[in-house]
């Protein structure tokens, strides 16, 4: 898939609704931070030094051996994209919001299926990312490890025998790995157990963030759970620990959903039905309200209350209803009121099309 096509289509591979435990685990991500020797960290780079990093990465991804093992990767400078296009990459979870700052020095590399992305000159010179649907942390790590080895054959990474990979933020020193899962936890929210559960997660050395990572709040009952520490742990340790905690969260969420269905079935079905009705018939809807209603709809789909809407459509709508994608679709700037109008039109159209298939 060409880069421009990626910007024009809301769908990404992580939205497929496949993979283990996909009724609760929306996606799995593994990201590693790497830096090149003899160059300052990105926040101290001159424009010329930033170009050196971009050039080095471009040469590395064009090697035939990498293409054979990883696939074709396409590099695009952030300065070549419009503000809306840059924001779309954030909304699709292909880059972090930090890559939008001082974007003249930055670039992004994508594989056509959007499973692999590389952020260049974000907090570190390279941030390698693999994003897969469902609970596939092991598979994501295997792919990143292979990509990392191919790049390291060409690039001279900053590495210390005692500390491991050197990074701009001390918390990433060591493996440089951040592994995370995006979880849909409406059951725990509705039975009012979410705060205590997430507090326990924090005590286990993990951190919980919102839909778009650090500095964002949970929206649509979606939570990102990731490791906090990389130093002194192997990549396998990090994956194993996160998998263990994720499976506990899955079990607790399933128990909460079952309790709702057993003890409050009428209220649950009414909540899901009202959400479905509003999404099908409303004429004005904010992004926040749409996310809340989509969460209730997704819960109804997963519990079999709603039978004619595929769960992957809800994943896709999470991106489609965001401001940048709405503006990209219409090809013009929109006022907040216009976005609220067009958002409801788009949701109604997608739900109607799904009912007819």
CA-to-CA dists, residue 291 to 85, 172, 221, 295, 317, angstroms:
22, 32, 8, 6, 9
Alpha-carbon distance of 281 to 227, in angstroms, equals 41
- Whether 218 has a pLDDT exceeding 70, the answer reads no
| pLDDT computed for residue 19 by the predictor | 86
Q: What are the start-end ranges of the E strands in 71-163?
A: 73-77, 107-111, 116-120, 126-133, 159-160
Picking from 242, 178, 182, the residue whose alpha carbon sits closest to that of residue 211 is 182
Containing 352, the helix (H) or strand (E) segment is helix 336-356
Q: Output b/e per residue, 3-38; b: 16+ Cβ within 10 A.
A: beebbebbbbbbbbbebebbbbbbbbbbbbbbbbee
Mean pLDDT of all residues belonging to the chain? 91
Alpha-carbon distance of 141 to 65, in angstroms, equals 20
Reduced to 3 states, what is the DSSP secondary structure of residue 207? strand
- Whether 13 has a pLDDT exceeding 90, the answer reads no
Containing 180, the helix (H) or strand (E) segment is strand 177-184
Picking from 99, 158, 162, the residue whose alpha carbon sits closest to that of residue 129 is 99
- Tens-place pLDDT, residues 175-210: 999 999 999 999 999 999 999 998 999 888 898 987
Q: What percent of the chain has pLDDT over 90?
A: 76
Place 215 in a pLDDT band, splitting at 50, 70 and 90.
Answer: very low
* DSSP classification of residue 193: -
- Tens-place pLDDT, residues 60-84: 999 999 999 999 999 999 999 999 9
């Amino acid at each position: 898939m060409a880069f421009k096509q990626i910007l024009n289509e809301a769908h990404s591979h992580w939205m497929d609704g496949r993979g283990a435990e996909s009724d609760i685990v929306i996606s799995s991500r593994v990201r590693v931070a790497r830096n090149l020797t003899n160059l300052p960290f990105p926040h101290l780079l001159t424009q010329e030094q930033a170009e050196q990093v971009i050039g080095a990465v471009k040469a590395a991804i064009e090697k035939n051996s990498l293409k054979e093992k990883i696939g074709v990767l396409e590099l695009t400078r952030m300065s070549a994209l419009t503000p809306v296009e840059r924001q779309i990459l954030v909304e699709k979870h292909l880059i972090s919001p930090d890559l939008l700052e001082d974007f003249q020095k930055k670039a992004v590399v994508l594989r056509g299926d959007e499973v692999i992305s590389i952020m260049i000159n974000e907090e570190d010179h390279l941030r390698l990312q693999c994003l897969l649907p469902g609970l596939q942390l092991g598979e994501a790590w295997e792919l990143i490890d292979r990509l990392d080895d191919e790049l390291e054959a060409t690039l001279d990474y900053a590495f210390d025998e005692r500390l491991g990979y050197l990074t701009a933020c001390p918390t990433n020193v060591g493996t440089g790995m951040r592994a995370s899962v995006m979880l849909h936890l409406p059951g725990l929210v509705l039975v009012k157990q979410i705060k205590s559960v997430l507090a326990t997660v924090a005590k286990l050395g993990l951190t919980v963030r919102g839909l778009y990572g650090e500095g964002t709040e949970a929206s649509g009952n979606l939570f990102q759970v990731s490791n906090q520490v990389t130093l002194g742990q192997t990549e396998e340790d990090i994956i194993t620990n996160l998998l263990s905690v994720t499976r506990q969260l899955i079990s607790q969420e399933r128990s909460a959903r079952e309790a709702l269905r057993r003890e409050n079935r009428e209220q649950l079905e009414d909540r899901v039905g009202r959400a479905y009705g509003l999404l099908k018939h409303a004429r004005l809807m904010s992004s926040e309200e749409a996310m809340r209603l989509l969460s209730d709809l997704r819960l109804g789909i997963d519990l079999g209350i709603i039978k004619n809407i595929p769960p992957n459509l809800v994943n896709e709508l999470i991106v489609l209803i965001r401001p940048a994608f709405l503006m990209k679709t219409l090809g013009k700037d929109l006022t907040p009121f216009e976005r609220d109008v067009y958002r409801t039109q788009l949701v109604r159209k997608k739900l109607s099309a799904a009912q007819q298939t």
